[in-house]
Amino acid sequence: MNAKDLKQSRVQLFRDAANFKRTERIPHFANVVTWKVFDAGYTLDQAMTNFDVLEDTVVKFLERYPVDGLMDVGIRNQFTVTEAFGQGGYYYYNEEVVGIHDHAHCTVDTLMDYLDDPAKYAWEVILPKKYGESWDEKGLDVWKKTFSEYMRYVKYILHMSSVTGKQYGLPSLSPNNPMMGAIVLGIEELFSNLLGIQQLSVAMRRSPDQIEEFINRWDAERITPAIEKIRNGKGPNYKYCFDSSILMLAHNVMNKKQFERFYWPHMKELLDAYAEKGMNVRIFTEGSILRFADYFKDYPKGTLTFHLEQDDPFAFREALPNVCIMGGMTTDLLANGTPDECVAYAKRLCDELGKDGGFIFSEGKMLSYRNDANRDNYKAVCDFVSSYRL
């Protein structure tokens, strides 16, 4: 099979699994991020700023492990752009570690200023906070240098898309949303960028009306138009495994009342639009989503796929038999088990969760660090999943 046909057959395999159709084999979406850097013999600081090294890590991974999809093709956690912009204390990395500090660009009182004009707010508030008074003098030069690095980065992304698609038949997971960018609900923007975990947690208690006002305006300006485009669009896009990908992080700090007020009404409107058009959505959840399972129980099979991080996949299936599961393989086992133990657990996952469709094999936690998986274990699991026939 040539790469083009292989790519399309994998798209179909993912779509069939997500749609609870019985498939010949279970697709494997490798939730591998920076672990592959170590596996290819590099350190993180060698890879994060060098596109040639990054490409080599991806190629070596795809040559070694027979997977159907890959979370990161070397475009995540690279630092040429952020360093040109003056990385500051946001990201940190060394030979073994890469991470992000919790940060906040706004306070509750400045949220509306940000919404009024995000670019102006960034130029006049966020960047001077980072660079101090000298920002006005050097701002344009920094911007030019950053833009130049950004264009190199875009070129690399396009190149890697071609390498993974045309040489290895790897499909793209999902298209950009109709608004040309990731779908980010207002509450998620507050959590990840504008307020951060600490401030948002306190603000939901101390200033709930202001939080609600921000979310309503954010979603009216950004999510409502996206929903209109979904409703007026052609429906599923069979060039991709999923019609959309959504990230859920902020639920990890919320109690049920807060979820009902700040999250669910906006999420529901979006998911309902996808369901009406027969489109499928992959929701990547960090932490646990099981305590909110009831909210998702009425969607028809084929609409939702949850990529689980910490939830027990068997308990999740019991709670939400209508939702496709992506995930299941634990880093504990990949790191500390034997190849036989890993394969036995992988077989259990495939047999119990995938015999009637509705299961995509993947690793629960992103494989990021050297000890997140033992190479022999990972190889044994990949070989098993790719060859196992139900």
Partner 1 sequence: MIDFEALAAAMGELDEDTVKEILEAVDSAGNAGKAMEACQKGMDTVGRLFEEGEYFVGDLIYAGELMTDAVEVLKPYLAGSESAGTKTRMILCTVKDDLHDIGKNIVRSMLEANGFEVLDLGIDCPAQKVVDTARAENIKIVALSGVLTLALTSMKATVQAIRDAGLDVKVIIGGAPVSAEACKNIGADEWAHSPQKTVDTCKAWAAEQ
The residue ranges that bind partner 1 (CB under 8 A) are 92, 96-97, 99, 101-102, 197-198, 200-202, 204-206, 252-256, 258, 287, 291, 310, 331-333, 335-336, 365, 368-372
Region class of 358: left (phi > 0), else alpha (psi between -120 and 50), else beta? left
Specify the residue, 198 or 338, whose C-beta has the smaller distance to partner 1. 198
d(CA 46, CA 128): 31
Shortest spacing between CB 262 and partner 1, in angstroms: 10
Specify the residue, 44 or 281, whose C-beta has the smaller distance to partner 1. 44
Inter-residue contact 11 to 240 (CB < 8 Å): yes
The pair of three-digit structure tokens given for residue 171, joined into one six-digit string: 């499909």
The pair of three-digit structure tokens given for residue 35, joined into one six-digit string: 């672990």
The pair of three-digit structure tokens given for residue 151, joined into one six-digit string: 């264009």
Shortest spacing between CB 63 and partner 1, in angstroms: 25
Specify the residue, 96 or 212, whose C-beta has the smaller distance to partner 1. 96
Specify the residue, 153 or 295, whose C-beta has the smaller distance to partner 1. 295
The pair of three-digit structure tokens given for residue 298, joined into one six-digit string: 């009425």
d(CA 94, CA 99): 10
Shortest spacing between CB 204 and partner 1, in angstroms: 6
Shortest spacing between CB 156 and partner 1, in angstroms: 26
Shortest spacing between CB 296 and partner 1, in angstroms: 17
Specify the residue, 120 or 205, whose C-beta has the smaller distance to partner 1. 205
d(CA 42, CA 26): 31
Residue at token pair 């999250």: 263
Shortest spacing between CB 253 and partner 1, in angstroms: 4
Question: From the CB of residue 286, how many other CB atoms can be counted at a distance below 10 Å?
Answer: 17
Specify the residue, 162 or 255, whose C-beta has the smaller distance to partner 1. 255
Specify the residue, 16 or 96, whose C-beta has the smaller distance to partner 1. 96
Please list, residue by residue across 242-257, b when 16 or more beta carbons sit within 10 angstroms of its beta carbon and e when fewer do: bbbbbbbebbeebeee
d(CA 180, CA 170): 22
Shortest spacing between CB 92 and partner 1, in angstroms: 7
Inter-residue contact 288 to 5 (CB < 8 Å): no
Shortest spacing between CB 255 and partner 1, in angstroms: 4
d(CA 53, CA 377): 24
Reduced to 3 states, what is the DSSP secondary structure of residue 4? helix
Shortest spacing between CB 307 and partner 1, in angstroms: 16
Reduced to 3 states, what is the DSSP secondary structure of residue 11? helix
Specify the residue, 167 or 255, whose C-beta has the smaller distance to partner 1. 255
The DSSP secondary structure of 81-142, one letter per residue, reads: HHHHT--TTSEEE-SS-EEE----S--GGGHHHHHH-HHHHIIIIIHHHHHGGGHHHHHHHH
The pair of three-digit structure tokens given for residue 324, joined into one six-digit string: 């496709």
Specify the residue, 96 or 124, whose C-beta has the smaller distance to partner 1. 96
Shortest spacing between CB 260 and partner 1, in angstroms: 13
Closest among 148, 105, 103 to 124, alpha carbons compared: 105
How far from chain centre, in Å, is Cα 17? 19
Specify the residue, 186 or 302, whose C-beta has the smaller distance to partner 1. 186
Q: How many CA atoms lie within 13 A of 19 on its CB side?
A: 17
d(CA 332, CA 5): 36
